[in-house]
Structure 1
């Protein structure tokens, strides 16, 4: 049965949750730091103890976050004015031998600008094994939300919305939000989430881009079913029904046709590392002409780890005969396809405003830890690519004034030698964002130190050539490619024609 929340019940439920203080701050304040941390580790007992004598909020937390059964009278009081019987009928609650328990996952979720409530299916091993299971705010959802460039746009498409998390974020910066999904259960839960939060979203039913045929958007975000494997659908939220990474390849080819000129698409994806093929070339081959693209690989897993990770995600007992049979079939398929590893990461696409312009396509690894949200970095990459395109000629770049980013750090390192430590090299890196790191020599270090936004690059190189007694032409030829990389990675920031916010980073 699909969840069904009538408008009057939704309004009453919103009133009850607000009155009880069922928010991220409210729950954190009730539990305290230790019990909240224990709950995050999957240890509910400390949190349950913290909710004793906590009134209506304690009842709601035990019921919705801890999976406990509560007496019907206590539930009725906690959720008033929403009738408990109506919440059972809607699917949020269900009856058991001791009273009422949660039938759906309903939890508070917040960003820096405010709070929401998100409805999804319960995150239990049994529930996760349902083919139509609708996941809540999980790791992939948070990863995409943190990596999405937030800028005011007129129209935004959330492709494969699931429980609606990306659309909630989008409503903060988009004039109109459209969300699609192929799963009726996902659409029902997303609709309830949007109604509960009073967020206006156009919901459309259908696979992939079919529901928006002929339409274009300023921005598209998507957490599609990207898990590579045999052509089957065990779970709608993760399996595309197409073999390997074919579904992702088809989506990348099709997305730019649904973007307005200058429009941006951001999605998560996984691609195969096939024996004898270069994985960046494989992903590049999916791109249509007229598109800037930044493909960032965040993780690489071997076939066994790939299969085991997604079986655990589905809540399977990996030692059971059924799980082992499934794993065997999956591993057999990967071996037949000569798959050596599976990559995972972000894809950022932009349809060029000028279709005759030369697109920028960058495929690279970002395998280290990233503590900062990548959304600003994604937006900054687009701005830096625009600036570099406008300064594509050597003459234009040499005439630019550049400043070293305030977050840049110079590392010098040494190795043991016959007479103690011997200098072995140096590297410049950013101390924020993705921590880009570049090995540099002494002239490059001197150039970066001289980039203070006061002199054009050409004058700095002239001084550097004189100081190191090298021909200017040779120094320019060797330096400009590196300068472009420093700009693209945000280590050198143009003083003119550049957003002030980025210059002050």
Structure 2
């Protein structure tokens, strides 16, 4: 088994956190100043796990920003005198007392990373300092089992999918380093952040204090145990959903492995979360789900959610058992050159084979306790690049609610929608007409001339009935027949955000 960390968890003392924040602010330890310091190419290389380009770029620079960059961003030991000069308010002893480093008479050795993390949400642009455990590059080997991950790809993905709504109470289940709790706290009265890892909670609390966020409460415990009997307007979770064999010798990393068999952790979350939602409350998570012996993962997932709840699942990726196993073995710092790689691969493939797993899906899950008489039930695969997903999901939920009362009397074509017509040479009639969405889920929808004409006329001036009547006359089709053909497709375009209700 992989060992646990040999360094203690941080001790987020409020006064020392404030002193450290003052020093980081004075040094301008932020994304853009660092990028200017060591150059764009070296900065991009850091995102791919390479430190050497930065070290070469700032070799010989003993300035405050370079010192803190090497110490906190890269996790490299630095001369004690240089660190003391860079942290005049906190001091070296204060850094050690926070649990972010160790020191002797000559050298300060970091025991954690602390990096600036920029964000963009519906409320604007900002940046936080996020502390986490040393990564595999700084450790020069596999990660400890209790490793606390910084802001990775999954964290950024979840942050982009959260519906931007103002709420009274929110829950971040499995908070890790606390990044989701910080984001949600910008639009919530109170956030409860939970984790089964005491080490993760220590980092999350440190990060909240560093960034002056005071409306987060931290609780220790598994799944929903710390919030028994409570209800929330918003639940977000980037749970430890990675499917891991439950056999001796396979590392169980706390940040990604929930300790259950297969996709049972995602199933447990999805089955449990509805009981903790207020009316119109939303739960969102990332997850994996297995397709087994002819039953798709999406079908299995939909069966876990009570039929009266709104459910919107978007599968972004699907991997074979081999591709999935290799991905997560490498994520733990083990490569095919390591002797441990083949035994780990064998364990993963045997585990999938035992359950008849044919593929593993990854994506977003949204549940809402909406109106039980007309729930939204939507599962889909979207492979293309997406943007502003949280806003798009919110728009879709609002459209579903509007459509429960019928198609609005007036509709307007969304500003990001364009039309493309494909014609065969010498033919004036298009063989294919496409509506293309510029933002959100970037959907491309094939339409016929009648539906294209309807969308083209949706400028808010004419009513839906007036447009449909004009099209019926133009195509010499009885209005009831045309409407029976158009109505379900118009509903779909409204739900997709291609058509939006008029004023």
Would you say same fold, with TM above 0.5? yes
1:60-79 to structure 2, matched below 5 A, reads 60-79=68-87
1:430-460 Cα offsets, whole Å, 9 max, x none, are 0122111111112111111111222222222
Q: 1:105 Cα shift? A: 1.0
- Find the aligned partners of 2:385 and 2:96 in 1 and give their Cα distance: 43
- Find the aligned partners of 1:228 and 1:97 in 2 and give their Cα distance: 45
1:389-468 to structure 2, matched below 5 A, reads 389-391=404-406, 397=407, 400-414=409-423, 423-468=430-475
1:325-344 to structure 2, matched below 5 A, reads 325-344=343-362
The answer as to 2:174 corresponding to 1:156 is no
Q: 1:97 Cα shift? A: 10
Q: 1:50 Cα shift? A: 4.1
1:40-95 Cα offsets, whole Å, 9 max, x none, are 34443442344344621111001112333211111111112213133234331234
Partner of 1:296: 314
- Find the aligned partners of 2:91 and 2:106 in 1 and give their Cα distance: 18
1:145-224 to structure 2, matched below 5 A, reads 145-200=159-214, 201-224=216-239
Q: 1:420 Cα shift? A: 9.2
Change (3 A) 1:128 1:484: farther
Q: 1:259 Cα shift? A: 1.0
- Find the aligned partners of 1:374 and 1:270 in 2 and give their Cα distance: 19
Q: State the superposition RMSD in angstroms.
A: 2.2
Change (3 A) 1:149 1:401: same
Q: 1:319 Cα shift? A: 3.6
Paired residue total: 485
Q: 1:426 Cα shift? A: 1.8
1:371-382 to structure 2, matched below 5 A, reads 372-382=387-397
CA contact (8 A) 1:229 1:334 kept: no
Which SS does the other structure have where 1:208 is aligned? coil
Partner of 2:94: 86
Unaligned runs of 5+ in 2: 1-7
Which residue of the other structure, out of 6, 13, 17, is the alignment partner of 1:10? 17
Change (3 A) 1:231 1:475: farther
Unaligned runs of 5+ in 1: 392-396, 497-505
CA contact (8 A) 1:228 1:272 kept: no
Which residue of the other structure, out of 87, 107, 114, is the alignment partner of 2:115? 107
Deviates more, 1:485-494 or 1:125-134: 125-134
Q: 1:25 Cα shift? A: 2.9
Partner of 2:5: none
- Find the aligned partners of 1:150 and 1:448 in 2 and give their Cα distance: 28
Which residue of the other structure, out of 376, 384, 388, is the alignment partner of 1:360? 376
1:249-328 to structure 2, matched below 5 A, reads 249-328=267-346
TM-score scaled by structure 2? 0.91
CA contact (8 A) 2:297 2:360 kept: no
Q: 1:470 Cα shift? A: 2.2
Change (3 A) 1:347 1:2: same
Deviates more, 1:71-80 or 1:88-97: 88-97
Which SS does the other structure have where 2:461 is aligned? strand
Q: 1:294 Cα shift? A: 0.8
- Find the aligned partners of 2:254 and 2:44 in 1 and give their Cα distance: 31
Q: 1:128 Cα shift? A: 5.1
